[in-house]
Structure 1
Amino acid sequence: MVMVGRDGERARLSVFVLAPDGQALVLRGEAGVGKSTLLDLAARLAAEDGQLVVRATGVEAESGLPHAGLHQLLYPLLPTSDDRPSGGRTSDDRASDGRASDGRPSDAPPLGATTRAAFDAVFGRPDGPPPPVMALGIAVLDLLSWTASKGRPVLLVLDDGQWLDEASAEVCGFVGRRLAGRPGVKLLVAVRGDTSSPFDTAALPEAPIGALADADATRLLDLHHPRLGRQVRGLVLEQAGGNPLALLELPAHLADGPGDRAGQDLLGLHGVPLPRRIQGIYAARLARLGDSVRAELLRGALDGAAARPGDGPAPIARYRMREVDEAVACGLLVVEPGAGEFAFRHPLVRSSVVQLATPDQRRAAHRVLAQLHREYPERRAIHLAAATVDPEEGVAADLEAAARSATRRGGARLAVSWLTRAAELSETRVDRSRRLDEAAYVAGQTDHLGRARSLALAAAPGTDESPAAVLADSYLALYRDGEVRATHRRIVAAVERLRDSPDRAGQHGPDLPGRGPDRPDEVLDRLVSLLLAVSQYAGDRATWRRTHEVLATLGDLATERAWMYGSTWSDVVRHGAGWSRRVERAAAGLEDQDPWDVTRLAVSAYHLDVLSPLRPYLERVVDRELDTGAMSSGIVMLHLVLLDQLALGQWDAAERTGHRALALATERGHGLFAHQTRAYLAQLAAVRGRTAEARELQTAVVAWARPRGVGFLTQIADAVGATAALSAGDYETAFLHAIGITAPGAFRPYAYQASRTLLDLVEAALHTGRAEQARAHALAARDAGLPDLSPRLALITHGALAMTAEDDTEASAHYARAQSHPAAERFPFELARIRLAHGIAVRRLHGAAAARLPLTQAAKTFDRLGAPAWAARAHAELRAAGVAPHTPAPASVPLTWQERRVAELAAGGLTNKEIGEQMRLSPRTVSAHLYRAFPKLGITTRDALRDALTRVSQPAPAP
C-alpha cells in the first residue's frame, strides 16, 4: 500500500531506525490512524538496512496470561540447542545457510545459568519460578546485546501494545528505559490512544500519531476511491476526520443507490465514535457471511490468529483459520505474505467478530480452543472458564489445577478468579465451598482482604465462623490492627470446631499438587499456621502454652511443618534443637511450594540463623509476589531479606530494603508490617550508632505495640534500646534494657530476643561491674546448649564465655573457638565485637604487640560496616597499642535527578500515586525511588524530606 502524507512521522522513524544508538519509541494514536502502517514502514527500513526485525502483536484474549507477549518477542532470538527453553526445536533442525529452519540464529548465545533460568521460566518450564522484572529484564538485555554484537542490529516491533499482558509490558518497559548506551538494539511500540495501556506508565519516549492533514486525506481518498460523487466524497472526508482506515472503509460501505441514501447512511452514524462506526461497517459484512466462515473467524479472533509471531513459528500454536476465502473477498481478512496464513485486516475486525457472536457461539469456539491448548494448562483454563455454563466437575478441577500452577508462578491474583470460576462450575456443594474457601484464602494472601471475606461468606452463607471466614477476618485483624489477643481466641475456637467436626475429613478435596496424604486437611493446616503466627507476634508465655496445648490435641492431624513452626517460632532455646537440618531439607524444593509456605519456612530458617541459603530464592521471587502474587508474603520476604542483610553486614542494602518494605506496608495500610519494619530499621540505626534515630523509631514501635500486646515488637524495641545504649557507651541503660528482655543467668521462656541479645547483656553487665551476673548468663547459654542450636548462637556463646572467663587459658580457648567457627565471618558485627574484647584483654595481659591483630581486624570491620561508635572504640584501643590508623571519611552519594524530583514532590505532600501521575511512573517505581533516596539523605520518614533536601547538593543532571 502506498503511504500518503506522514512526512514528519516517516522522517522521525527513519532517523530512529537507522540511528546506531539503542533507543525506544511508543507510537500513540486512535484506532485506524495508521500506526500499523508506520510499523510496517519501520520494519521495511530496518530489513533493508540489514537489521534483524522481530515482530509481535498484543492479543486481547491473552492479556491475562503472564509473559504471553514475551513469548512472541523472545522466541525468534533464542538459540536452537539441546538446552533451549521449551517450545523450540533441536539443533539438528539447522538450515544450511547458518540459520535454523525456523528462522532463528543457529549460533547459540552463551547463556549463563541465571539467564537460562529466566528464559526457561518465561517459556513455561515447571522447574523454576518466573523471575522478577529486573532479573528477566537484565536477561533480555543481555540476549539483545549479544545478538546485536554479532554484527546485525535488532529492531523489536510491537503492535497493539495496549493488549500486551502486564508482566511482558513491565519487562519491555524495563528494557526500553535501558537501551540508551546499548548500540544496535531498538524497541518500537504502537498503542491506542483511546484505550488504557500497560505502557501508559512505562516512561518511554512517545510520538503522537494524529489524523492526516486535509490535503493528504483527500489524496488518499482519491487514490483508492476515484469515482465517488462530489456529495458522497465530501461526506466521507467530513466523517473520516483524517483517519486513514475510515477513508478506506466508509466509501465501501455506501449503498450503490442514489447519493442521498448514501449520505443518510453516513449521517445516521454522526456522533458515534469513529472506531465504533468502522466496527459497524465490519459487522455488516460479517452478517453476510455463512455460519461456518463466521465460526472460523470467531475461533481465530479469540485465539489471536496470525498475531505476527516473528521470523519463525510462535512457541505456542495458535488457531489457523481455514476455508475463509469468502472473508478475504469482502475485505475482512488478508493473506500474510510468506506464511500464507489468514490474518484479520485490522484489529477492529477481530473485535467486531467477537461482539457479533452470540454467547452460545463464543462458548463453542472456546471449547475448540481449550482442546487446542490442552498441553498449556493456563491457556486451557481461560478457554474452559469461558466455554462452560452448567456445573462440570472436570472443568472445575482443571481450573483449580491451573490456579495452583499460577499461584506458584507468581500469579496468585489471577488464581483467585480461576478458583472462583471453578467454584461456580462445581457439581457438589462441598466442592463449591472448598474452592470458594481456597479463593478466599488466596485473595487474603494477595492483600484483597475485603474480597477474601466476601468469598468466605459465600462459601458458608449464614455464618461468620466458617474456617474461611475466620481466616479472612483474622488476617485482616492481624495485619491491619495488630490484634493478637481476640484473634488468637477466635482461631483456637475454629481449630477445635474443625478438629471435632464429623465431616472434616472430606474437606481437603482431590489430590492436587501440595495436597494429598502429606496434607490431610489443608484448611486445618492453614488455621494452625495462622494460630502460630499470631502466637509469635503475641510473644508471651501464656499464649504459646495455649497454642502448644491445641497443637498437641491434633495428633496426626498436625503436620511436621506445624511442629517445625511451633518449635522454632516460639522458643528456640527450649524447642529449637534438631530442626536446622529438617529446615534445610524442606528448603530443597522451594519452587514446588506456595509462596506463603516458602515464607513460613524462611521464618524458621531465620530463627535458626540459616536464612542465607534461602535468600537468593526470596530475592528472585519477591518482586513478582508484590506485583501479581501474594502481597503479604512479599512484604515478609522483604523483611527476611533485610534481616539477612543486617546479619551479613550489608547494612546499606538492608536500609534500602527496609525503606521499601515500610513504603509498601504503609501504602497498604498494614499497621503490623509497618511497625515491624520500623523496629528492624531501629535495630539498624542502633548498630550504626545513630542513637537519636533508633530511639525515635523505638518510641513509635512501643507506643503502637505495647497497648496491643504485640510482644514480638516490644522485645525488638528493648533490644534496640540495649544496642543503641551500647553504641553510645551508656552501659547502665543498656543493662536495664537487656534485663527487660530476660534476667541474667536465664532465658525467659518464649522471649525470642532473649538468646539474640546474649552478647548485649554480658557486655553491659561487665562494663557496669556486674561480672558475676555476666558470668552466670554466659554459663546459662552454654548449659542451655545454645552452641548446638545455630551458628550465630555458637559464635556469641563462645564470645560471652571468653569475656567472662575466670582465667586466661579458658578465655583464650573460647576466643579461639569463636573466631575459628566456620560460620563466624557470616556475622561480622558480632565477630568484630568479640575481636575487640579479645584485643582489649590481650593488651592488658600480654602487651600491645599481641593485641594489634584482633584490634586491627575489629577496627577494619567496624569501618567497613559503618559503625562509627564501635570503630572509634577499636581505634582508641589501637592507639593504646601503639598504632594510629587512618579512618577515611565516607563519600556522600548524590541523588539522581529522578530521585531528587520524586523526593521534592513527596516533601510537598503528594502521595506515591499522585507523584506517579505527574512523572508518568507507577506508584511502585515511585516507592523504589524513595527507598533509595532516604538512606542517601540520612532520614527514615517522609516528614524529614523537606529539611534533608535543603542540606544536600544538587542532583545528577536530568536525562
Structure 2
Amino acid sequence: MESVVATMVGRESEQEVLSAFVADPGGRSLVLRGDTGVGKSALLEHVADVASRHGYRTIRAAGVEAESELPFAGLHQFLYPLLSSIDQLDDTHRKVFDVVFGRSQETPPSVMTLGIAVLDLLSLAASQEPLLLVLDDGQWMDASSIGVCGFVGRRLTGSSVKLVVVLRSDLPSGFDTAALPELPVTTLSEKASEQLLDTRHPGLDPRTRRLVLDEAQGNALALLELPPYVRRAGRASGERLGYTGIPLPVRLQQVYGARIEALGDGVRAELLRGALDGAGATAGSPRGTRYRMTGADEAADCGLLDIDPLTGDFIFRHPLVRSTVVQTATPNERRAAHAMLAQVHRDDLERRATHLAASTIDPDEEVAAVLEAAAESATVQGGALSAVAWLTRAAELSESHEERSRRLGSAAYIAGHSGQLDQARQLIRSGSGIGDSPSSVVTSGYVALFEDGDVRSSHRQVFAAIESMRDAGVNERDEILTRLVDLLLAISQYASDETAWERTHELLGGLGDLVPSHSRIFEDAWGDVVRRGAGVDERVERAFVGLADLEPWGVTRLGVAAYHVDTLSQYRPHLQRTVDREVETGALADVMTMLHLIMLDQIAVGEWDEAGRTGQRCLELTTAHQHDLFTYHTHAYLGQVAALQGDIERARELQSLVDTWARPRGVGFLTQITDAIGTTTALAEGDYEAAYLHAIGITPPGVFRPYAHQASRTLLDLVEAALHTGRAEQARTHALAAQRADLPGISPRLALVTYGALAMTATDPGEAETLYRKAETHPHSANHPFELARIHLSHGIRLRHTQGRKAARLPLTLAAETFERLGAPSWTERARAELRATGASALAPSAHLAALTWQERRIAELAASGLTNKEIGQRMHLSPRTVSSHLYRVFPKLGITARAALRDALAKVPGDQHV
C-alpha cells in the first residue's frame, strides 16, 4: 500500500479534500464511493497517513461478506481496540457493549441506545488523542453495525473523532441512506492513467501499453496489475483480454487466478478456508472471531497476502483476492472447506449453520435442526430475512416430508412477517403437498388479510383450519395451531364483527389449554375491552417481562394489547428499540404495526407533529411493500392527526379514502376510525349535530356496542356532542353506562374520561365539582393532555356560570395553554373566548413555567418524579446529553440551581402542571 500511496497520481483534488477533512477542527464523517480497484484504498491510506501526522490514532475495520448477516460483527472490529476504554465506562454502558462482544444474551440494544454508548466511548478515547476511524468495504458490514455507524457519523460535530467509510459503487449498502457526506472516487483520466502506468511499469512496448490502457479504462488496480499478467500470458502482440463487455472486476480475477493456481494444494485450501470465513479482512482485526490462516507464506510471497503488523496474521491484499480464491475453487473444494469451518465454529450457532448449509448436499436431519435453531436465534435478533434463508435450506435438507413441509411453512410465515408476501406465497407453492396444510393456511390467510384486507374469506379459511386440527386430535401445544389462533384473532379484530368474534370465542374456548396465555391476552384485549379488559394491563405487564425471549411478532401483539388498555407509553421504548432492530433485516410487517403503536402513543401524549412524521414513515414502508391493509390503516391514523390539528380538508379527504376502501370489505376496525375522524372533525368545527351523528354511528348512547373498539374511546365525544345539541338525557345515560361498565378499572385514560363525562352531565353542583377534581387530579391525567384540556374547558364554563368569572379563569387558562401547545387551533380559540368572557384580556401564563417549551416542561416533570436522564431519554427518545442540556436551560427559568429543587418549583403550579 505504501508504494501505491507514494505513486498516487490523478488524485490531487481528492487528496486536498481529505487533507482538509483531517485538518478541519472538530469531528466529521466522509464516505468514499467508487468502483472496485479504482483507488479507494490508496486514498484511505493517504488519509490515514495525514491523520498520523496530525497526531491521530487510527482504528481500522473492514466489512466482510461472510459476516454481513451477523449482528454487530462490523462494530466489534471498531470497538475491539477500545476495550481498555470500555472498562472505564459506567456499568450501564458496559452492559450495552457486552451484547456486542457476545458476553451477554440480553435483548440487543436499539441503534439509538448503542449509538449513544459508542459516542460516549469515542469521546472518552479521544480525550487522550484524536481518533480516525476507517472502514473499508463498508457495503459488507452488517445492518446493525451500519445503523450505529450512521447514527454516530451524523453526530461527530464537536468531538475529536473522524470517520471515513469506503463503499463499492456497484453494490447497494445500508450506508446509502445514512445521509453522510460523500466524496466520489471516479476512474482516472486518460492522462493520469498514462502517468500511473508509465511510473509503475516503465518501458512497456507501445502495443502492450495501449492494450493495458484500453482494458484498464482508468481503473488504478488494473493499471498496476495487468502489465505483468499480459507479458506472462504472451498477450504483448496486441490481442484483447477476455470478452468484450466483461466488467473489469471479473477480468481482474484472472490476474489473481493465475497466481492462485500456481500455489500448492495445501496453501490454496488454506486460502479458501480463510476467504469463505472472512479471514484477514483487514489489519488489526480481533483474533478469535474468524478463521486464522497459517502456512500461507507462499501466497504472501506472490503478493496475494500481506502481514498484519500488529498481530502477525495473514490478511488478503484486496477483496478481489478473496472472491477469486472462492470462484477458482471447485464445488467439492468449497464444500470441504465449509465442513471444516463448521467444526471450527461448532460453538457459534449462526456461523456454524452458515458453513453447514454450504457443505451439505444430501438430506441430513441433524444439519437441518442446526439451521432451524440458527433461524430461531436470528429471528429474535432482528435477522428474520436470514431466518427465512436458513429455514428454506433446512427444509431442503430435511429427511422426512413432514419436517420439510413444517420448515417451509415456518419460512413462509416469517417471510410474511418480513414484508415479503410474494416470497411467502412462493415458499408455499414450492412445498409439494403442503398447499392445503394448516401451515399453508397460516400464510395464505396472512397474505389475504394484509395484502387486500380480506377479513371474510380469511376468517372462514383460518377458522376451518383450526377446527380440522382440533378434530384431528391435537392434544398438546402446537406452533402451527398457535399461529392460526393468533391470526384468527387478528382477523377478528380487523373485522370487528360481533358474530365473527362470538364464533371465535366459542372455538378458542373449546381448545382450553392448547391456547397459550399470550393468545388469551390478545383474545381479551383485541375484541371487546369494555367487557373483557379488566386486569389485562397487569397481564400485559407480566408478559413484557420476558421481552428478550419474544419474537418480534410477539412484541407487536403485546403492544397492540397495551394500546387497547391505554398503557402504551411504558412500552414505547421497547417498541422503538425493536423497530430500530428489525427495520433493515427483520420483521418489517411487524415494524409497520409498531410504528402504528408509536404513532398512537404520540397522539395520546400530545406529540401530534411527531405522530404525523411517524405516520409518513410508516406509509412509505406499507406502500413500498404493497400491504394495502396497513396502508389504509396508516391513512386512518393520519386522518385522526389531521382532525385533531384542525386540518379539516385533509382529515375529510383521508376519512373518505379509508372508508371507501374498508367498508365494502367489512373492515370494521377501520370504518370505526373513519367515524371517529368524522366526530373529531365536527367537534373541531363546532358542528355538534354532525359530531353526534358520527358518534352514535359507532355506538348508541347508554351502551357500548360489543366489539366496537372506538365505542369507549369516543365516550367524551358523544357526551359533549349530546350536551351541545340539547340531548342532556342521552349524555347522562352514556356517562352512567361508562360508570356501570367500570371503565375506570380498565385503563387510566378511561378513568379520566369517565370521571370527566360524569362531571359534565352531573346536575348537582357539588357532585360535579367533586368529579371534575377527581378527573383533573388523576395521577395519569397529564399523560392525556387533550382529554384533560377538554375537561378543564368544561369545568371552567361551569364555574363561570355557578361561581363567577374569577373562579373559572384557572381551568380555562390551563385549557387554552394546553390546546395551544398541542396545536389544536379551534379548541384554543374556543378556550380563549371563554377566558375573555371571564374578563381576562389574554392568557394568564402559569407561574414559573411560562417560558418553558412543551419539551422542557415535560422533561422537568419527569426529572422531578425521580427519573434519571437516561430514563427520561428512553421515555422521550432523546439522548441523555440532550436531556441534560434541556435541564440546564430549565433551571434558570424556574429560578433554581439544583435538580432537587425541581419538585418544589413545580409544586407552586396548580393542578396538572406538576408531577
TM-score band, normalised by the shorter chain?
0.7 to 0.9
Q: After superposing the two structures, state which structure 1 stretch, 295-304 or 273-282, moved more.
A: 273-282
Displacement, 1:640?
0.8
**What's the counterpart of residue 253 of structure 2?**
279
Displacement, 1:682?
2.3
Q: Which amino acid aligns with 2:55?
A: G
Displacement, 1:198?
4.7
Matched, 1:411 2:383: yes
Q: Distance in 1 between matches of 2:531 and 2:408?
A: 39
Distance 1:469 1:184, change over 3 A: same
**What's the counterpart of residue 870 of structure 1?**
827
Determine helix, strand or coil for the equivalent of 1:862. helix
1:482 is matched with which residue: 446, 453, 458?
453
Determine helix, strand or coil for the equivalent of 2:164. strand
Deviations 1:908-956 (A, max 9, x none): xxxxxxxxxxxxxxxxxxxxxxxxxxxxxxxxxxxxxxxxxxxxxxxxx
Q: Which amino acid aligns with 2:446?
A: Y
Distance 1:722 1:294, change over 3 A: same
Displacement, 1:17?
2.8
Deviations 1:396-446 (A, max 9, x none): 222112211211111111110011111112222222211111101000111
1:819 is matched with which residue: 756, 770, 776?
776
Q: Distance in 1 between matches of 2:599 and 2:654?
A: 17
Displacement, 1:197?
4.8
2:468 is matched with which residue: 478, 497, 504?
497
Deviations 1:245-265 (A, max 9, x none): 445544544678xxx945259
Q: Is the 8 A contact 2:123 2:160 kept in 1?
A: yes
Q: Distance in 2 between matches of 1:740 and 1:199?
A: 49
Matched, 1:329 2:301: yes
Displacement, 1:586?
0.6
Q: Distance in 2 between matches of 1:670 and 1:234?
A: 55
Q: Which amino acid aligns with 1:63?
A: S
Matched, 1:646 2:603: yes
Q: Distance in 2 between matches of 1:783 and 1:193?
A: 66
Distance 1:584 1:268, change over 3 A: closer
**What's the counterpart of residue 147 of structure 1?**
125
Q: Is the 8 A contact 1:875 1:884 kept in 2?
A: no
Q: Distance in 2 between matches of 1:795 and 1:222?
A: 81
Q: Superposition pairs for residues 542-581 of structure 1, below 5 Å?
A: 542-581=499-538
Matched, 1:189 2:169: no
**What's the counterpart of residue 300 of structure 1?**
274
Determine helix, strand or coil for the equivalent of 1:191. strand
Q: Is the 8 A contact 2:462 2:488 kept in 1?
A: yes
Q: TM-score, normalised by structure 2?
A: 0.86
Q: After superposing the two structures, state which structure 1 stretch, 465-474 or 193-202, moved more.
A: 193-202
Distance 1:279 1:605, change over 3 A: same
Matched, 1:434 2:406: yes
**What's the counterpart of residue 900 of structure 2?**
none
**What's the counterpart of residue 333 of structure 2?**
361
**What's the counterpart of residue 758 of structure 2?**
801
Displacement, 1:109?
4.8
Distance 1:239 1:640, change over 3 A: closer
Computed over aligned residues only, the root mean square deviation of the Cα atoms, in angstroms, reads 2.9
Displacement, 1:216?
7.1
Q: Distance in 2 between matches of 1:12 and 1:693?
A: 47
Q: Distance in 2 between matches of 1:352 and 1:338?
A: 26
Q: Which amino acid aligns with 1:296?
A: E
**What's the counterpart of residue 539 of structure 1?**
496
Q: Distance in 1 between matches of 2:823 and 2:207?
A: 81
Displacement, 1:329?
2.9
2:798 is matched with which residue: 838, 841, 850?
841
**What's the counterpart of residue 907 of structure 2?**
none
Q: Which amino acid aligns with 2:253?
A: Q
**What's the counterpart of residue 45 of structure 1?**
50
Q: Distance in 2 between matches of 1:734 and 1:239?
A: 74
Q: Which amino acid aligns with 1:4?
A: T
Displacement, 1:121?
4.2
Q: State how many pairs are aligned.
A: 841
Distance 1:362 1:554, change over 3 A: same
Q: Superposition pairs for residues 885-924 of structure 1, below 5 Å?
A: 885-886=842-843
Q: Is the 8 A contact 1:842 1:850 kept in 2?
A: yes
Q: After superposing the two structures, state which structure 1 stretch, 796-805 or 442-451, moved more.
A: 796-805
Q: Is the 8 A contact 2:28 2:153 kept in 1?
A: yes
Q: Which amino acid aligns with 2:162?
A: K
Q: Is the 8 A contact 1:441 1:452 kept in 2?
A: yes
Distance 1:397 1:728, change over 3 A: same
Q: Distance in 1 between matches of 2:410 and 2:196?
A: 61
Q: Which amino acid aligns with 1:686?
A: A
Q: Which amino acid aligns with 2:370?
A: D
Q: Distance in 2 between matches of 1:205 and 1:671?
A: 36
Displacement, 1:857?
1.9
Displacement, 1:658?
1.9
Distance 1:31 1:595, change over 3 A: closer
Q: Distance in 2 between matches of 1:215 and 1:585?
A: 68
Distance 1:315 1:412, change over 3 A: farther
Deviations 1:720-748 (A, max 9, x none): 22222222222222222222222222111
Distance 1:328 1:551, change over 3 A: same
Determine helix, strand or coil for the equivalent of 2:702. coil
Matched, 1:289 2:267: no
Q: Distance in 2 between matches of 1:20 and 1:44?
A: 17
Distance 1:739 1:14, change over 3 A: closer
Determine helix, strand or coil for the equivalent of 1:849. helix
Q: Superposition pairs for residues 254-269 of structure 1, below 5 Å?
A: 261=234, 263=236, 267=240, 269=242
Q: Distance in 2 between matches of 1:217 and 1:794?
A: 80
Q: Distance in 1 between matches of 2:584 and 2:172?
A: 18
Distance 1:656 1:118, change over 3 A: farther
Distance 1:718 1:854, change over 3 A: same
Q: Superposition pairs for residues 371-382 of structure 1, below 5 Å?
A: 371-382=343-354
**What's the counterpart of residue 930 of structure 1?**
none
Q: Superposition pairs for residues 111-190 of structure 1, below 5 Å?
A: 113=92, 119-124=97-102, 126-133=104-111, 136-148=114-126, 150-179=127-156, 181-190=157-166
Q: Which amino acid aligns with 1:38?
A: L
**What's the counterpart of residue 762 of structure 1?**
719
Determine helix, strand or coil for the equivalent of 1:765. helix
**What's the counterpart of residue 807 of structure 2?**
850
Displacement, 1:670?
2.3
Displacement, 1:137?
4.3
Q: TM-score, normalised by structure 1?
A: 0.82
Q: Distance in 1 between matches of 2:193 and 2:615?
A: 57
2:665 is matched with which residue: 699, 708, 733?
708
Displacement, 1:145?
4.0
Deviations 1:875-919 (A, max 9, x none): 22222223222499x99x9xxxxxxxxxxxxxxxxxxxxxxxxxx
Determine helix, strand or coil for the equivalent of 1:190. strand
Q: Distance in 2 between matches of 1:685 and 1:16?
A: 45
> Which runs of no fewer than 5 residues in structure 2 stay unpaired?
854-915
Distance 1:119 1:723, change over 3 A: same
Q: Distance in 2 between matches of 1:393 and 1:678?
A: 47
1:4 is matched with which residue: 7, 12, 18?
7
Distance 1:668 1:352, change over 3 A: closer
Q: After superposing the two structures, state which structure 1 stretch, 281-290 or 562-571, moved more.
A: 281-290
Distance 1:243 1:774, change over 3 A: closer
Displacement, 1:621?
1.9
Q: Distance in 2 between matches of 1:278 and 1:674?
A: 47
Displacement, 1:651?
1.4
Q: Is the 8 A contact 1:214 1:242 kept in 2?
A: no
Q: Is the 8 A contact 2:676 2:714 kept in 1?
A: yes
Q: Distance in 1 between matches of 2:263 and 2:302?
A: 9
**What's the counterpart of residue 883 of structure 2?**
none
Displacement, 1:663?
3.0
Q: Distance in 1 between matches of 2:591 and 2:113?
A: 16
Displacement, 1:378?
2.1
Q: After superposing the two structures, state which structure 1 stretch, 620-629 or 230-239, moved more.
A: 230-239
Q: Which amino acid aligns with 1:57?
A: A
Percentage identity across paired residues of the two chains: 57
Displacement, 1:830?
1.3
> Which runs of no fewer than 5 residues in structure 1 stay unpaired?
85-107, 506-516, 894-959
Q: Distance in 2 between matches of 1:478 and 1:215?
A: 60
Q: Which amino acid aligns with 2:318?
A: H
**What's the counterpart of residue 66 of structure 2?**
61
**What's the counterpart of residue 391 of structure 1?**
363
Determine helix, strand or coil for the equivalent of 1:822. coil
**What's the counterpart of residue 442 of structure 2?**
471
